[in-house]
Amino acid sequence: MANPSILILAGDGIGPEVMSEVRKIIDWFAAKRQIKFNVSEDLVGGAAYDVHGVPLADETMAKAMSVDAVLLGAVGGPKYDKLDFAVKPERGLLRLRKEMDLFSNLRPAQCFGALADFSSLKKDIVAGLDIMIVRELTGGIYFGEPRGIFPDNDGGRVGINTQRYTTEEIRRVARSAFELARRRGNKVCSMEKANVMESGILWREEVTWVHENEYADVELSHMYADAGAMQLVRWPKQFDVIVTDNLFGDILSDTAAMLTGSLGMLPSASLGAPGKNGRPKALYEPVHGSAPDIAGTGKANPIACILSFAMALRYSFDLGDEATRVEQAVEKVLADGLRTADLMGPDGGKPVSTSEMGNAIRQALDASV
């Protein structure tokens, strides 16, 4: 059988730097575990715009559709701020999500023991935190029609976006949240604004329907998203899996990310429905952005991107034990006090560059076999 295939889209800013460290880990698996991937690379975001005049070329889109998993670095940067909306770097990412139909976005927020002091919250509130936000990723206000900026009757203009969710869009993401919960703490909290939005009322009804008919063994609660944001910073450990729509999920996942101390630590997986081979279409990316201010300085933290590859091992390649091996290697280097610039906090620690961090994680992997 052919080796499983991975398409790397490193993108902009710190994307290429952190992705180089992931390459070291991929190479390690080939050399030390005989787990070989067929890796190809292409352009996305501003990097693609510079070459093709669009943030994602059709050929790249076609490649993404044909591989087993896509690994993406980051997109965007000040150089591209003034571009037309339709060719902005972010549109490349949104096209991938939409055309690959990656409706379920898994954003774990885990607080590593060695970093509990780095959170902006008190240590006992975040130590040991392990929650999973499941964000709907292909619907809602990000894609709803009508949308646009139009002339208004009073001579001004009107900007319009539409929040729109169908039964099936809600049910499928709810199922993926319940499935995850069964393998974790068996609790799901669904967040919407059913008090002011009809789409929120439907969301609550459909999540409840899936629960009653298919997952009654899982504990389900509902919260308005604003109260949910408040609870996330008040006592985040009350949550196990949170399921929410595209826009609320965007906001709540940044909040949850910061609980853990640094955005530089958090991976994500965006999954579609399982295909003929049983594997879902999948894209893995760090939650952090392109951080143009530190690009090229060796300050970027490669851990989020490396942990995103670990998620690929778990969710695309059924290599959960190998994913755990990577996660433990990361824990080890953090416990040893290695710190990229974003992690230089209260406890001092040993400052390391992007590539030194990657090397240290590879060494910790060596020690694990």
Among all chains, which residue has been given the structure tokens 């709540």? 252
Q: Which residues contact 288 (CB under 8 A, 6 or more apart)?
A: 14, 74, 263, 264, 266, 301, 304
In whole angstroms, how large is the CA radius of gyration of the chain?
A: 20
In this structure, which amino acid lies at residue 22?
Answer: V
φ and ψ at residue 62, rounded to 5 degrees: -65, -40
The tokens describing 296, both together, are 């090229």
Nearest CB to ligand IPM, comparing residues 218 and 244: 244
Pick what 90 binds: Mg ion, ligand IPM, none; C-beta below 5 to 8 Å, kind-dependent.
ligand IPM
Nearest CB to ligand IPM, comparing residues 280 and 286: 286
Quick count: other Cβ atoms within 10 Å of Cβ 28?
19
Pick what 87 binds: Mg ion, ligand IPM, none; C-beta below 5 to 8 Å, kind-dependent.
none
Interaction site with ligand IPM (CB under 6 A) = 90, 93-94, 250
Q: If we measure between CA atoms, which residue out of 155, 156, 107 comes closest to residue 263?
A: 107
- With CB atoms as reference, the residue minimizing the distance to Mg ion is 250
Q: Contact at 8 Å (CB) between 233 and 255?
A: yes
Q: What is the DSSP letter of 9?
A: E
Minimum CB–partner distance for residue 105 and Mg ion (Å):
10
Minimum CB–partner distance for residue 5 and ligand IPM (Å):
24
CA distance 299 to 344: 11
Minimum CB–partner distance for residue 295 and Mg ion (Å):
19
Pick what 61 binds: ligand IPM, Mg ion, none; C-beta below 5 to 8 Å, kind-dependent.
none
Nearest CB to ligand IPM, comparing residues 311 and 365: 311
Stretch that binds Mg ion, among 91-99, 121-129, 250-258, 342-350 (CB under 5 A): 250-258
Minimum CB–partner distance for residue 250 and Mg ion (Å):
4
Nearest CB to Mg ion, comparing residues 80 and 215: 80
Q: What is the DSSP letter of 264?
A: G
- With CB atoms as reference, the residue minimizing the distance to ligand IPM is 90
Minimum CB–partner distance for residue 251 and ligand IPM (Å):
9
The tokens describing 349, both together, are 């620690």
CA distance 291 to 301: 11
Pick what 93 binds: Mg ion, ligand IPM, none; C-beta below 5 to 8 Å, kind-dependent.
ligand IPM
Nearest CB to ligand IPM, comparing residues 218 and 287: 287
Residues 252-311 that bind Mg ion (CB under 5 A): none
Pick what 21 binds: ligand IPM, Mg ion, none; C-beta below 5 to 8 Å, kind-dependent.
none
Instruction: Spell out the alpha helix ranges (H) of 133-185.
Output: 167-182
Query: Is position 192 an interface residue for Mg ion (rule: CB under 5 A)?
Result: no
Minimum CB–partner distance for residue 90 and ligand IPM (Å):
4
- Would you name the residues annotated as active-site residues? 142, 193, 226, 250, 254
Minimum CB–partner distance for residue 265 and Mg ion (Å):
15
Q: If we measure between CA atoms, which residue out of 222, 242, 248, 207 comes closest to residue 133?
A: 242
Nearest CB to ligand IPM, comparing residues 116 and 246: 246
Chain mean position to CA 57: 22
Pick what 220 binds: ligand IPM, Mg ion, none; C-beta below 5 to 8 Å, kind-dependent.
none
Pick what 197 binds: Mg ion, ligand IPM, none; C-beta below 5 to 8 Å, kind-dependent.
none
With CB under 5 A as the contact rule, the residue among 12, 250, 285, 342 that binds Mg ion is 250
**DSSP character string of 193-253:** -TTT-HHHHHHHHHHHHHHHHH-TTSEEEEEEHHHHHHHHHH-GGG-SEEEE-HHHHHHHH
Nearest CB to ligand IPM, comparing residues 260 and 319: 260
Q: Contact at 8 Å (CB) between 225 and 232?
A: no
| Contacts to Mg ion by CB under 5 A | 250
